[in-house]
Structure 1
């Protein structure tokens, strides 16, 4: 099949968004799209291109004083009766329109159309962001070629509805367990019901007062919630164990260790096992490219409520922001869509910022 990413398509970020959406790339199935992207970028004279798995990296080497990263993931969540794309007025509907092929369109458009940027630029088109971290293209690059990630500033083209979302929350998952003693339910007084014991865990969660923290003018609201409960042995047995899965979203002023200490304090007296955690990212607004980017956007940033790959850059000491045309509230939604006007406005903003 001929590459659908023709010069005419690459020149228009709106048309490019639709074409990208119409190339199915559910996580672990990015090979076709990555191949098209690689083929196009290898023909661009001002870029050098490398590939790791289904992650494509392209970079300029113009001798600029600073280097920035523009990054977007190629994969989407599974299709849900929303493929291929559909145009309705000012809206493009389809899987990945918001999260985040409209953002990928920005990076691909700029990589081809801006041969002389004011900074050296590294573009990442990476795989498997929507699934387990071990498959994530940026993670795999950090393990195999960390030098590819070297930069002074990074922009993740995640959906933000056209505003700058700075940094991100950290996240922690844990199992809070209650223990009891099994007995026949006909003689329940001989046992201790672990599911009933979970009521104290739920009470603490209901009464939990979450912080809102403001950092560099950006507000980060924390949250601690039960997201799953499991327990029970059989229909006639008093259960001896109940596990409550708790997700703690914490502001980036807490380290992972501090978040764990706090969570254990909240559930003092219960068995707590941390099953997964990822640090947040501070806003990172002080870097010179970040200040110039904010000036190009012309609006004050807000805090990112959620975890994104900006945290990977923050862990390396690289300030990073989120900026993309899609509405994050539509990510993974069957009616996912993006506004054409947002795509055009954001592309113009990035071009204004990058063009020398």
Structure 2
């Protein structure tokens, strides 16, 4: 049975309703069904389209500019944090931060902004939490590219209810070493590939983060080992080993420059293979629409320390920012929770920003 969502209700209540519909990556159908049904029934002023487990909606009022809002419906796997629960002023539960609070703000705006100053597009998509190629925006961009077009994109990822500009790029590489198998009782006759990772591990231990200020937004790069594999048995000298490293790079580097940096750092430490990457995005705060959002939100924009789909929009030449409720450091944790005030503030800011003049 499809869950019933009230899009005009308090966005906090709407967030709780979204949290209570499980939507782990690749299993978003039930939530997508509920979102689609609610938009079709409660927002007749919108054109609504379904693409897989993504739901798209937009106004077609002939306004001189268009704002695109994007939010993913999927979550990481549950960790004893379902269903939602409340403590005074706080909503707890899987996805409350990443990013059903942002989705609720978008849905509320979609239903209530019937006469906006700009045309509005809303994209609720699937599979953001897994590999890049599975991301629903990849499919939307390929099959419905006109739905990605706009003068500003606002990705409602958690940002502590302030504007977070741009995003870091991310790159995952493997450092591979080779050795020679031998019985551990005669270990000197072999060559231990795991021991061969020592140089790469030393590079990581001695790494100093690069800090970059771009348009007043400070980005801190990162380099972390995230996985090590090697060995075939408890009495065999390993003949192969793999160290997986994640690199977060500032928006002033391209993926090619980030790769060159890693190859220089790990020169002589083993074979370096790029597994996947996603480009960074510059702050994009100089456009009139971005400045208007910053003014509506108040405060000072800050750098996004992480990767989000603002990168996709930036690659299309569309300025993009992050603006949503919740503390991003709580994303993917068992303790996910979002202040109710964040949800209401984001809803109020976006209502002001899109209001007809």
TM-score between both structures, scaled by the size of structure 2: 0.96
Structure 1 pair 187–2 and aligned structure 2 pair: CA distance change class (3 A)? closer
- Partner Cα distance (1:242, 1:321) in 2: 40
Q: Secondary structure at the match of 1:283?
A: coil
Structure 1 runs (4+) deviating above 6 angstroms are none
* Map of 1:214 onto structure 2: 213
Q: How does 1:1-356 map to 2 (within 5 A)?
A: 1=1, 3-6=3-6, 10-43=8-41, 44-269=43-268, 270-356=270-356
What do you get for the CA RMSD once the two structures are aligned? 1.4
CA-to-aligned-CA distance 1:234-255 (integer Å, 9 cap, x gap): 2222222221111111111111
Structure 1 unpaired stretches of 5+: none
Contiguous gaps of at least 5 residues in structure 2: none
Tell me if the contact between 2:3 and 2:21 (Cα under 8 Å) persists in the aligned partners: no
State the distance in 1 between where 2:260 and 2:338 align. 40
Structure 1 position 3, deviation (Å) = 5.0
Instruction: After superposing the two structures, state which structure 1 stretch, 90-99 or 233-242, moved more.
Output: 233-242
Q: CA deviation at 1:350?
A: 1.0
Separation in 2 of the partners of 1:95 and 1:163? 22
Deviates more, 1:25-34 or 1:54-63: 25-34
Deviation of the 1:231 alpha carbon: 1.3
Q: Is the 8 A contact 1:82 1:94 kept in 2?
A: yes
Q: Distance in 2 between matches of 1:334 and 1:271?
A: 36
SS at match of 2:194: helix
Number of residue pairs aligned between Structure 1 and Structure 2: 354
- 1:134-169 alpha-carbon deviations (Å, 9 max, x no partner): 321111101111111111110000011111111111
What SS does the corresponding residue of 1:100 show, helix, strand or coil?
helix
C-alpha contact (below 8 Å) 1:11/1:113 kept by paired residues: no
> What per-residue deviation string (whole Å, max 9, x for no partner) do you get for residues 15-45 of structure 1?
1111111122222222222122212222323
Separation in structure 2 between the aligned mates of residue 233 and residue 4 of structure 1, nearest angstrom: 52
